[in-house]
Structure formats: C-alpha cells, structure tokens
Structure 1
Amino acid sequence: MIELDVLSRQIDALMAEQREAWRQLAVPTLTAFDRREIRNRIRQSGIELRDHLKVRTERLSYQPRPAEPPTDSLANFNFRLF
C-alpha cells in the first residue's frame, strides 16, 4: 500500500507541474522559444503522468482480496428431529 501512496504523490506532483506550466504558457510576454520549452515540458510530464496512472490502475486492479473470516462449519447444518 505504501507504493500506491508514493505513486499517488508522484501523480499529484506531475498534475501540479502541468497546471503551473499551463499558467506560465498564458503569460503574453513569453518568447517563442520559452513557449516551445513549456509545451515540451507539458508533453513530457503528460507522458510520465500517463505511465504513472497506468501503473496505479494495474496495481489497484490486481490488489489481493482480504481473507474472509472462517465460517463455522457446524452452523451450516440444519438439524431436524424426527
């Protein structure tokens, strides 16, 4: 479960990085070079984010089920008196 926590923090960090990059991209005083670099950063973090989300989905879908408590085998019998 600790791995999923770390993975979730990394996903949150990548999403925050993308939000900040989009905010920076909206600044009208950026040069063409700066805009290109920011877009490249967005693309790269998008690839990493997609990979992290894929790993998290795989780990969550293959998570072992909790063991069911043992049932009392004698409780399942229906005793009848004839």
Structure 2
Amino acid sequence: MAHLDSQTKAIENIQDARLEFLENQTKAVENVQATRLEFLNNQTKAVGNIQETRLDFLNSQTKAVDNVQAARLASLDARTKSTLR
C-alpha cells in the first residue's frame, strides 16, 4: 500500500509541475500579447498623428491656394472694372 501511495504522490507532483509549467507558459504568452497590443496601439497612435499632421499640411496648402486664387480673381475683377470704364 505504501508503494501505491508513493506512486500516487509522485504522479500528483508531476501533474502539479506540469500545471505550473502551463500556467507560466500562459502568463508568458499573455505578457507577449499585451506587449504586442501596446506596440500596435502606439503604432496606430503614431500613424494617426502622422495623418493628422499631413491633413493639417494639406489644409494649409489648400487655404494658401484659395488665398492666391482669391487674390488673382480680385486682381482680374479690378482690371476688368478699370478696362470697362
């Protein structure tokens, strides 16, 4: 009977060790996934910032073009008015 008890205890110890190993492995995978997710979030944020900067630049460029076109149109209107007089 003592032999069976020893065998049972050995099996329990092995199962405990395996379970601990699997728990540690799961924790490691969770940590890797959390790190990857954080990296992707930071990358997404960086891309968003870059896109926002590009959009600001394009809006400024558009505004500048609009201003130049408005000035040209005003100049043409002024010349047309002076020519018609």
- TM-score tier, shorter chain, comes to 0.3 to 0.5
User: By percentage of residues, which structure has more helix?
Assistant: 2
Larger radius of gyration: 2
RCO (CA 8 Å, sep 6+): is it higher in 1 or 2?
1
Relative to the length of structure 2, the TM-score reads 0.44
Relative to the length of structure 1, the TM-score reads 0.45
